[in-house]
Structure 1
Amino acid sequence: MSDWVLGPDVLARARFAVSHLAVAMTALGRLHARPSPEFAATLADRPVHRALLDEGIARRWIADCFTPATEPADSLHDELDAVRRTPDRQVRQDIEQVRGVMPSSTLRRARRLGDAIAELHTLAWGLEVADDWPRLRRVLESDIVSRTTSLSRGGWAAALTDLRPGTAYLGEGVMRISSHDLPPKDLTDADLTFHPVQAGRGYVMWDLPARRFALTYPATGTGLRESTPPATALAGLIGGNRARLLRLLDAPASTTQLVARSGLTLGSVGNHLTVLRESGLVTRRRSGREVLYWRTPLGDELAG
C-alpha cells in the first residue's frame, strides 16, 4: 500500500481548491486514450509532442513533469509556468522513471520540452474544457463546498470518504493514497491540496523541492453537460428545466449541487423541486444541515 504520513500542521493547512492544471491534465489523459480528430490532426506533424504523450503517460503512471503541484492561480496559463520552467534534463529523467528505460532519441534530441508539455495542456483545455468551463467550474466548486462541509462535521475521515478508489484517511495522520506497493512518504511541513477534476480515478501531483503535494479526485456531478438537451417528450410534458433537474436526480443531491450542475438560480431550482415533489416524481430527506432530493420510482420511469 502507498501511504502519506501527515503531521498535524499539514492537516491544519490542507485545503480543497480548483486547479486548472489538474483539469487540463485530466482532459489530456482522455485525449491520449481516445484522440479526437482535431487532436490527432494537430499532433500529426509534431513528433516531439507525440513522443511526450506516448512516453510520459502510461496506464497507471504519469511522468511528474506533466503534473507539478502548483499554487492554484486565476488561469491555466499562470499555472503552467511551473511546467514551462522544467529543465529538459528533468523531463527526460521523469519519463525514464515512468518507462523504466531511456526516452526515445526524439526526446533526447529535443529542446524546450517543458514548453511542449505546456502546449499539450493548452491544446487539451481548448478542445475538451474551454467551452464547458463556466459550468464545470461551478460543479467543481460545489463539490468542494460539500467536502468542506463534511470536514467541518466529521473531520478528515468524513471529508475523504469515497474520495477516489484506494484512498482513505486511516487516522493518526496517515492517509492511504493507493493500493500500489510503495514505501510511505513523509509529508512533514508540506503543503497539501485536494483538487476535484472532471473524470477518471484521480492522480497525485507534487513538487518535491517546494514540499508541495496534491491529490486529484473525480468530482460528483460532472457527467451531464449543461448544454445537453432534455429528452423532447419529457421536456414537453413537464418543461425543459424540470426535465433537466429530474434527470440530474438519479442520485441524491442538495439544492446547492443542483444549482451548480444545472446553471439555474437557487430560487428557480427550489420552485421546480417543489412542483416535482408535489407531483410524486421527487422525494427528499434531511441529511445533517442539508436537504437531499432524489427521484421516486415514478420519477425514474418518467426520466427513462
Structure 2
Amino acid sequence: MLRIFFGKDDLERLRVAARPDMSMELSLSVHALVSGHRDPRFKPWRDRLRASWNPRTALLFDLYTRSAIPEFLTVRRDPGATESATAEAPEEPLREHLRSVGGERQLSAFARGVAAGDRQARKLLGNVTAEYQTRAIDPYRRQIETIVTTEHGRRGGLTEPDQVLRSLHPALSWHRPVLAVPLAGGCRHDLRLDGRGLLLQPCVFGVRRPVIARFEDPGQQPVLLYPARINGPLLAEPEPTPSRTLTALLGQTRAAALEVIADHGPCSTKDLAALLGISTASASEHATVLADSGLTAKDRAGRTVTHRPTPLGHALLAGHLPAPPTGGVSQ
C-alpha cells in the first residue's frame, strides 16, 4: 500500500491533466500486451496491431515485468524525434528501472546493453519505440485526446479536492490527509508531497487500477495515472493524419503543427511546443512559416500570441483546396 500524505498546499495544487501523456500511453499500451489484459474495447486495436506486427517490437517486452513499467520511453509528435529522445534518455532513471526488472528476472542481452549505456542498444531502443508508436499510438491520437479531454471536463465539475479524490477509482481510499493506493506485491511505502501537489493523469491504455509515477525525484511533481472512462472500442483513424501528401509538402513537424493548431486552436506558441514535444523557439519558427504561407493566422492579446487555422489551412488538412472565385477576368 502506498500512502500519499497531503498538506494544505498540496490539496490546492491538485489538478487533473487536460491532455494525454502520450509517452505514458505508449508505455502502458506495451504493459497491456505484456500482462495479457483482454479488455474487449481494445480488441480492434490488438487485431490491427497483430496484422502489422514487427517481431522486433518484442524487444520492448524485455523492459517490463507485471509490476515494473518504464518511464523513459519518450513519445514526440514526429517519430524521428521520438527515436532520438528515447535513445538519449537520462541514464540514471533507465538504469534504476532495469535494476528493478533484474530483481524479478534475468535481463536479456538487449536489456543489459541498454542498462550499460551501449550506443547500439540505445539506438535500437529508440528505433523500436518510434516504430511501435507509428502503429500503436499515432492512428489513435484523436480518440485518445477526446477521451482524456472529456475526462478532464467531467472532473472539472467537482469543485472540492475531497470530491475529486473520492471519485477517482474504487481501489483508492481517501481519508484526509492520506490517499491510500494499492501497490503490486503488497509493498508498503509512504510519500509526502511536501508542497509539490499531485497531477491526476487520465489514461486510455493499460491501467485497470491507478499507478503512481515520477514520485521518487523530490524535484518533480508526482503523477497518479488512473483509467479514464472509455465508452466504446478504440478505433484507428480512417487515414493517418497528417496525410503523406501534406507531410511531403510541409515536412513532418510543420504538418503536425498545422494539425495541432486545427485541433486545439487557438493555441499559444507555448501550448503548440508542448503538444509537439519541441522547444518553444522551434514551435515559434514553424508557426511563423505557417502564418507567412497563409495556412494559419496570429492573434495577439497583450503579450500572448495565439495561432488559429485559416480556411486555406483547413482545406489543405481536408485534402482539397477551395474553388477559385467565380466572375473573375473574362477571356
**Is TM more than 0.5 here?**
yes
Residue-pair matches, total: 215
Q: What one-letter code is carried by the residue in structure 2 that aligns with 1:198? A: V
Look up the match of 2:66.
59
SS in 1 for 2:137: helix
Secondary structure of the residue aligned to 1:62 is coil
Q: CA deviation at 1:81?
A: 8.0
- In structure 2, the CA distance between the partners of 1:9 and 1:161, relative to structure 1 (3 Å rule), is same
Q: Give the Cα separation in 1 of the matches to 2:31 and 2:6.
A: 29
Tell me by how many angstroms 1:29 deviates: 1.9
SS, match of residue 222 in structure 2: strand
Provide closer, same or farther for how the CA distance between residues 105 and 167 of structure 1 changes in structure 2, counting only shifts above 3 A: same
Structure-2 change in CA distance of 1:204 and 1:75 (3 Å)? farther
- Tell me the SS of whatever aligns to 1:184: strand
1:195 alignment partner, SS class: strand
Q: Does 1:98 align with 2:106?
A: no
CA contact (8 A) 1:196 1:219 kept: yes
Pair 66,79 (structure 1): closer, same or farther in 2 beyond 3 Å: closer
| 1:63–1:98 Cα contact (<8 Å) kept | no
**How does the TM-score come out when normalised to structure 1?**
0.58
Q: Tell me the CA shift for residue 222 of structure 1.
A: 4.8
- Distance of aligned partners of 1:158 and 1:134 in 2 relative to their CA distance in 1, 3 Å threshold: same
Of 141, 148, 165, 1:160 maps to 165
Aligned to 1:276: none
Equivalent residue, structure 1, for 2:6: 6
Deviations 1:212-257 (A, max 9, x none): 21111111125334679xxxxxxxxxxxxxxxxxxxxxxxxxxxxx
SS at match of 2:181: strand
CA deviations on 1:84-105 (whole Å, 9 max, x unpaired) are: 5434454233112234166344
Superposition TM-score, scaled by structure 2 size: 0.53
Matched residues, percent identical? 17
Residue 30 of structure 1 aligns with which residue? 32
Q: Check the 8 A contact 2:10/2:193 in 1, yes or no.
A: yes
8 Å CA contact retained: 2:56, 2:128? no
2-structure distance, mates of 1:82, 1:5:
33
SS in 1 for 2:148: helix
* Aligned counterpart for 2:230 among listed residues 217, 221, 226: 221
Query: Would you say the 8 A contact 1:166–1:178 is kept in 2?
Result: yes
Corresponding letter in the other structure for 2:50 = P
Contact 2:34 2:66 in 1 (8 A): no
Aligned amino acid, residue 60 of structure 1: S
Stretches of structure 1 lacking an aligned partner (at least 5 in a row): 68-72, 229-304
Whole-Å Cα distance in 1 between the matches of residues 236 and 84 of structure 2? 32
- Alpha-carbon contact 2:34-2:65 (below 8 Å) kept: no
Tell me, in whole angstroms, the C-alpha distance in 2 between the residues paired with 1:203 and 1:118: 24
